């Protein structure tokens, strides 16, 4: 039997009560261990209509002895206020055979009160205008204008077309709020971002106090505060942020307005003209001091238009058969070949050499002038002479470039299926400050191939346009998920080929080095730009955003 129960005769919905009691064995035999069960009931009898509150384990009790116990019970928010009996049932699971099974229940009156809380949002502030993909700060206060203490709760945030929360709203996040005394308020701040491809326009930012409805309030209809907000979205599922603008990007990196237009080069250099690279050159920024890794089929480092701009590992002594710099690769004076696992990075395919010329072909009045014509090209061979390559080789090549000082990594490659090693390598390179520039792919798909799709988190994805700025019909598009996707010239691009040759090629592979070159110009103009800053500047100054 239960005896000497000590507990509060009154408590509140959502609170806890502490219960002290004794379980006595008034029989003549030892009682084995058992459970005491607790209920809220409208009468003094245990039935299926009662509200189960929990149990407490009781050790064995000798004949004539008792065990003093203490437990804590929760009165959850779903319990209606009113008068009840707190039932304490010894041997609640019926584990023991007793001489009297009818005297196990102890009943004590208890009143359950409704806490008279009322949470509202007040003094909310937020920017009047925000852009998709950018974080913004908000501040607000949660006030308890009721007469009872409010328990901890969460404030939730939505983007809505009206002032009410509905399933059509875009959920932006939540913020935990500690308990608030009656009449008091809690000042809060939070950082939000609109990360979906939301249509530009006028919205309401909704702040909803007690968003999960954990707190029972006297007024449940006044929790939402609505603040008008304008959403800007220059991102298109077709061309992302639009055509990259070298002049605007480099100027913004320097904290200046875009550079003045200069005369076009014309001819086969129309790609440089279209993205306004000559405007940057006129200011003296040509990629000097920047290394761009071409992770591709190799590079013809002896080409007349490239030889002066090939990166050299000065820590390595050529031909001595030793790993002088301790980077794990022997005699990697001109990069490394991850296909043949040797130091021969020469290109027989032509793809890598064509890419290299667009990035850093020398400005010498013949051939092609690269976008960053004073940058250095680091050859990293990950594709064979037939253009094929393993995921492992590509991943290792990316890591090699990042570990050996590449500021920019050009990936004019990709496929439809993801690969964890390549994803990890892209993330690794970005963590080391390298900007990874990735081709969107040439399958006319509605979204980029891998690894370009990782531009949601790291680096830049690049689609292709023709000389008129129109999307190429083969180019994979930006897709519905917000990612750092821009376009660049990729149709009939003239550039270097092995053996001091030149030729035209088409694809997002050709668009990508245009963007890699622009990034090199940015880094040469403004030392110390972070990967995140480059991504932000490039997308903010591309055609869909740009205003002169």
Q: Hey, how many other C-beta atoms are within 10 angstroms of the C-beta on 77?
A: 14
Contacts of 387 (CB under 8 A, 6+ apart): 297, 349, 351
DSSP 379: E
Query: What beta strand segments (E) does 32-169 contain?
Result: 34-41, 51-58, 66-74, 82-89, 105-113, 119-125, 129-131, 135-144, 153-160
State the greatest distance between any 2 C-alpha atoms of the chain, in Å, as a whole number: 112
* Paired residues of 192 in beta bridges: 136
Residue 395 backbone phi and psi in degrees, to 5: -60, -45
The whole-angstrom separation of Cα 288 and Cα 290 is 6
Q: What three-state secondary structure class fits 480?
A: coil
Residues assigned a catalytic role: 296, 351, 509
List C-alpha distances in Å: 4 to 62, 184, 271: 18, 39, 90
DSSP 227: E
3-state helix, strand and coil shares in percent for the chain, rounded to the nearest 5 = 15, 35, 50
Q: Are 154 and 214 in contact (CB under 8 A)?
A: yes
The whole-angstrom separation of Cα 485 and Cα 539 is 7
Q: Hey, how many other C-beta atoms are within 10 angstroms of the C-beta on 197?
A: 17
Q: Are 120 and 143 in contact (CB under 8 A)?
A: yes
């Amino acid at each position: 039997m239960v005896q000497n129960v000590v507990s509060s005769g009154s408590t509140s919905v959502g609170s806890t009560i502490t219960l002290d009691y004794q379980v006595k064995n008034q029989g003549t035999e030892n009682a084995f261990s058992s459970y005491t069960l607790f209920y809220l009931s409208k009468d003094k009898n245990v039935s299926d209509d009662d509200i189960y509150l929990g149990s407490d384990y009781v050790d064995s009790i000798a004949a004539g002895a008792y065990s003093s116990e203490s437990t804590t019970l929760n009165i959850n928010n779903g319990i209606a206020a009113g008068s009840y009996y707190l039932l304490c049932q010894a041997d609640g699971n019926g584990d023991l055979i007793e001489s009297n099974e009818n005297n196990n229940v102890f009943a004590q009156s208890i009143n359950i009160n409704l806490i008279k809380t009322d949470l509202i949002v007040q003094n909310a502030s937020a920017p009047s205008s925000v852009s998709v993909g950018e974080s913004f700060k908000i501040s607000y206060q949660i006030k308890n204008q009721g007469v009872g203490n409010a328990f901890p709760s969460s404030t939730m945030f939505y983007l809505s077309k009206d002032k009410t929360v509905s399933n059509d709203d875009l959920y932006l996040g939540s913020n935990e709020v500690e308990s608030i005394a009656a009449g008091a308020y809690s000042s809060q701040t939070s950082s939000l971002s609109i990360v979906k491809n939301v249509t530009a326009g006028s919205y309401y930012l909704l702040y909803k106090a007690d968003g999960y409805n954990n707190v029972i309030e006297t007024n449940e209809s006044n929790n939402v505060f609505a603040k008008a907000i304008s959403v800007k979205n220059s991102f298109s599922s077709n061309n992302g942020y639009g055509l990259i603008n070298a002049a605007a990007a480099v100027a913004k990196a320097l904290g200046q307005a875009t550079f003045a237009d200069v005369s076009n080069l014309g001819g086969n250099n129309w790609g440089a003209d279209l993205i306004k690279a000559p405007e940057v050159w006129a200011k003296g920024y040509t990629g000097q001091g920047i290394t761009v890794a071409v992770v591709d089929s190799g590079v013809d480092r002896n080409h007349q238009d490239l030889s002066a701009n090939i990166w050299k590992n000065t820590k390595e002594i050529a031909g001595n058969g030793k790993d002088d710099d301790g980077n794990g690769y022997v005699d990697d004076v001109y990069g490394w070949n991850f296909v043949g696992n040797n130091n021969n990075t020469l290109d027989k395919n032509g793809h890598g050499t064509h890419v290299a010329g667009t990035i850093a072909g020398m400005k010498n009045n013949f051939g092609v002038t690269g976008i960053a014509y004073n940058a250095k090209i680091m050859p990293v061979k990950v594709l064979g002479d037939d253009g094929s390559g393993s995921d492992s080789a590509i991943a290792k090549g990316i890591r090699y470039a990042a570990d050996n000082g590449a500021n920019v990594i050009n990936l004019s490659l990709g496929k439809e299926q993801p690969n964890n090693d390549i994803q990890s390598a892209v993330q690794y390179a970005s963590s080391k400050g390298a900007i990874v520039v990735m081709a969107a792919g040439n399958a006319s798909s509605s979204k980029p191939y891998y690894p370009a799709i990782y531009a949601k988190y790291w680096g830049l994805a690049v689609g292709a346009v023709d000389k008129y700025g129109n999307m190429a019909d083969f180019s994979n598009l930006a897709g519905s998920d917000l990612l750092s996707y821009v376009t660049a010239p990729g149709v009939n691009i003239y550039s270097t080929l092995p053996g001091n040759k030149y030729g035209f090629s088409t694809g997002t592979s050709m668009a990508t080095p245009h963007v890699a070159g622009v990034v090199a110009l940015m880094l040469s103009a403004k030392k110390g730009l972070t990967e995140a800053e480059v991504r932000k500047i490039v997308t903010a100054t591309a055609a869909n955003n740009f205003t002169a």
